Structure 1
Amino acid sequence: MTHIAVIGAGITGITTAYALARRGYDVSVFDRNRYAAMETSFANGGQLSASNAEVWTRWGTVMKGMKWMFNRDAPLLVNPKPSWHKLSWMAEFVGNIPDYEANTIATAKLAIEARKHLLEFAKEVDVDFDMEQRGILHVYKKQSEFDHARRVNVLLEKAGLERREVGPDEVQKLEPALQTDTLGGFYTESDFTGDIHSYSRKLSQGCEKMGVSFHYKSMVSHIEHTGDGVRVDWKEDNDKQTAQFDGIVVCAGVASKAIASQLGDRVNIYPVKGYSITVNLDDEASQKAAPWMSLLDDEAKVVTSRLGNNRLRIAGTAEFNGYNLDIRDDRIKPLRDWCETFFPTVSTEHCVPWAGLRPMLPSMMPRVGPGSKPGVFYNTGHGHLGWTLSAATAQGVADSVDLYRTRNAA
């Protein structure tokens, strides 16, 4: 049996561990937290959204970033303080603009493929994760954003996604709780939502039943390719430990860049901070007034998901500010304000704020597959679509490990 180390127990690490274990691999997962999915996979927007597959690599994004640079509550905020990492990433981002259409289509195809694997995994381990299969509704109040959405829809259709334009009356019919006027929207019936943290935690428990070893509260200090495998050194419960593995899959989110450099690879991930609030629907009036349909406001960069009867998740914004996890009120307030504008009778008295770092590559495409050295693999850099793409990329990296093992056995 081939022994594989998986670095990271977020959504990509857990789905990777599961995909490998169900193929018969001996898997060990390492994470610095006490439980699975405690960082970027803790409280994201909850959408499994092929309809949100558009990559950001276009000149419109660059112009917005420049325009909003000194607007502290802007949907996209770039800290003007320079660093080599940020500048190199942004230069490569601009270099990927010519691939905008091709990468959007490829991402949408991957998202569509991921759905069946995610639901298959959930069925196999009997995971309940507050799934709502009601579709996702993009809404527009600004004509320029609506016109851009029509152009994006052409690309999504090329990927095989069924997404239809709806007028303002049908927007209201699809989500009767909506209390603001819109120009219309786009509705994707096949998209759905769920609680990423609950899914990850329960899938990790399914992994344990399959024999996967989890090393939580473990600080990996060094990773070295030894020629015939990979040595991992880590500290667990104040004890220094080391082990040799036949292969390794790096699923470490924003930490993947530093780990890749130890393995001789350049994976230029930049941490892009996103925020969310979980609105606790403590009273019956708020429960009735909150939406069940998952919404996406492209102009405000805000998404919503209903997580059971008692919770509404509202997430969004993008902040380029390094490895900073501070929760800023001037970034949380726009999310509360958005809720009070679109759903004014929902009580926002009890909101739980959160911030996480999305691992983004300049191409906006995840790095999936082998590295430069034998036995080294990557499943990282999913950006704002980690939850959406994870099950497909987990299968993809498991295919790469299968191929590697077959070639070694020949």
Structure 2
Amino acid sequence: MKKIAVIGAGVTGVTTAYALMNRGFEVTVFDQNRYAAMDTSFANGGQLSASNAEVWNRWSTVFKGMKWMFKRGAPLLVNPKPSWHKYSWMAEFVANIPGYRQNTIDTVRMAIAAREHLKETAKAEGFTFDAEERGILHIYNTKYEYDHATAVNALLEEGGLVREAVSPSEIKALEPAIVGDYYGGYYTASDMTGDIHRYSRGLSDACRKKGVNFHFRADVTGIRMVEGGHIVHWSDDDGTQTEDRFDGIVVCAGVSSRKFGQMLGDRVNVYPVKGYSITVSLDDDTSQAAAPWISLLDDEAKVVTSRLGKTRFRIAGTAEFNGYNWDIRDDRVRPLVKWVERNFPDVETEHAVPWAGLRPMMPNMVPLVDAGKRPGVYYNTGHGHLGWTLSAATAEIIGDKIRDDMAA
């Protein structure tokens, strides 16, 4: 039986481990945290959203970044401090603008496939993750935003997604709790939401029961190529050094994938784009009744929401280009709280727990799901803001590739 090491136990690493286990491999997962899904897969917006598959490679994104550079509460914030990694990544981002159309269509197709894999897996393994299959409603404040959404809709449809235009009155009918006037919206009935952390923990537990090895609190310090495979060196939290030989390695390490790519002789140009969320505890009957059940995406504010059961309301958004920085800044969290208070004024926000995570983004906004230069090295990383949405599909893609390569 071939042995495969998976580096990273976020949603991408866990789904990859599951896919490889189902293809008959002996799988070992390494992660620096104590549990699965403790970094970017801990508290994201919760949306499984094929409807949000539009890539960001547009000139308007560049202009917004320049416009908002010195506005601390802006939805998109770029720290102007010079950094070769950041500015070289941005140059590649601009160079990929011509690929906007095809990359959007390809991402939609992956997202639709992933959604079905994800649901089938949870059902087969018998765990729940606060799933709400009520669709996702995109809301627009202006004609300009709505017209752009209409243009994007043509690409989503080409990718196989059904998304319906809705009027202001239909927005209120779909989500009676929302306050405010909107120009219009688009509703995707097939999209859904769920708790990424609960899903990842549930799937990691299922993998462990079926024989997948997990090394938590394991810092992978080196990877050495040997004949027919690789030696992985790691240390645990008390400094004990260990090594083991594997026939193949899959890097699913989020924003650390760049570091591991360098160890393995590959350029993996992921950049850490920080996102924030708040989880509002709905502790009273009034808040529970006033919070939305349908998932929302406010295009102007770049805010997404999900209802995680009766007593939790997740609000997430913003994109911050500020390097490997996990600091939770109040001036970035406050706009999320104010958004709730403006749109759902009867929801009590006293108990809103903030969080920040670093999304691993490739310059073309498409995940890297492929082999590396060395035999037996693979990558499933760089999913950006769609890790939760795409992971189940990319795990199947890389699982098939590794199976076929190892059989050759």
Instruction: Kindly report which structure 2 residues correspond to 1:180-219, keeping only aligned pairs within 5 A, or say none.
Output: 180-219=180-219
SS in 2 for 1:131: coil
Q: Which residue of 1 aligns with 2:103?
A: 103
Q: Which residue of 1 aligns with 2:308?
A: 307
Shift of 1:174: 0.3
Shift of 1:226: 1.9
**In the alignment, residue 85 of structure 1 is paired with which amino acid?**
H
Structure 1 residues 39-73: Cα deviation after superposition (integer angstroms, max 9, x where no partner): 00000000000000000000000000000000000
Q: Which residue of 1 aligns with 2:58?
A: 58
2:330 counterpart of 1:329: yes
Question: Which has the larger displacement, 247-256 or 115-124?
Answer: 115-124
Alignment partners' CA distance in 1, 2:362 and 2:264: 18
Q: Which residue of 2 aligns with 1:245?
A: 246
SS in 2 for 1:314: strand
Instruction: Kindly report which structure 2 residues correspond to 1:43-54, keeping only aligned pairs within 5 A, or say none.
Output: 43-54=43-54
Q: Which residue of 1 aligns with 2:399?
A: 398
Structure 1 residues 218-256: Cα deviation after superposition (integer angstroms, max 9, x where no partner): 111001222410110000242100011000000000000
SS in 2 for 1:55: coil
Alignment partners' CA distance in 2, 1:289 and 1:300: 20
Cα 1:299/1:227, change in 2 over 3 Å: farther
Structure 2: any 5+ residue segments left out of the alignment?
none
Instruction: Kindly report which structure 2 residues correspond to 1:10-409, keeping only aligned pairs within 5 A, or say none.
Output: 10-236=10-236, 237-407=238-408
Runs of 4+ in 1 over 6 A off after TM superposition: none
Alignment partners' CA distance in 2, 1:224 and 1:49: 39
Structure 1: any 5+ residue segments left out of the alignment?
none
SS in 2 for 1:71: coil
**In the alignment, residue 307 of structure 1 is paired with which amino acid?**
L
Question: Which has the larger displacement, 122-131 or 63-72?
Answer: 122-131
**In the alignment, residue 137 of structure 2 is paired with which amino acid?**
L
**Root-mean-square deviation (Å):** 0.6
Report the TM-score when normalising by structure 1. Answer: 0.99
Alignment partners' CA distance in 1, 2:398 and 2:294: 33
SS in 2 for 1:34: coil
**In the alignment, residue 296 of structure 2 is paired with which amino acid?**
L
Structure 1 residues 283-334: Cα deviation after superposition (integer angstroms, max 9, x where no partner): 0000000000000011111000000000000000000000000000000000
Structure 1 residues 108-138: Cα deviation after superposition (integer angstroms, max 9, x where no partner): 0000010111011111111100000000000
SS in 2 for 1:296: strand
Structure 1 residues 131-151: Cα deviation after superposition (integer angstroms, max 9, x where no partner): 000000000112211111011
Alignment partners' CA distance in 1, 2:79 and 2:142: 27
Alignment partners' CA distance in 2, 1:328 and 1:143: 32
Alignment partners' CA distance in 1, 2:365 and 2:15: 20
SS in 2 for 1:91: helix
Alignment partners' CA distance in 1, 2:149 and 2:292: 22
Alignment partners' CA distance in 2, 1:73 and 1:224: 44
SS in 1 for 2:33: coil
Question: Which has the larger displacement, 343-352 or 139-148?
Answer: 139-148
Alignment partners' CA distance in 2, 1:263 and 1:226: 12
Alignment partners' CA distance in 1, 2:280 and 2:228: 51
**In the alignment, residue 346 of structure 2 is paired with which amino acid?**
T
Number of corresponding residues? 407
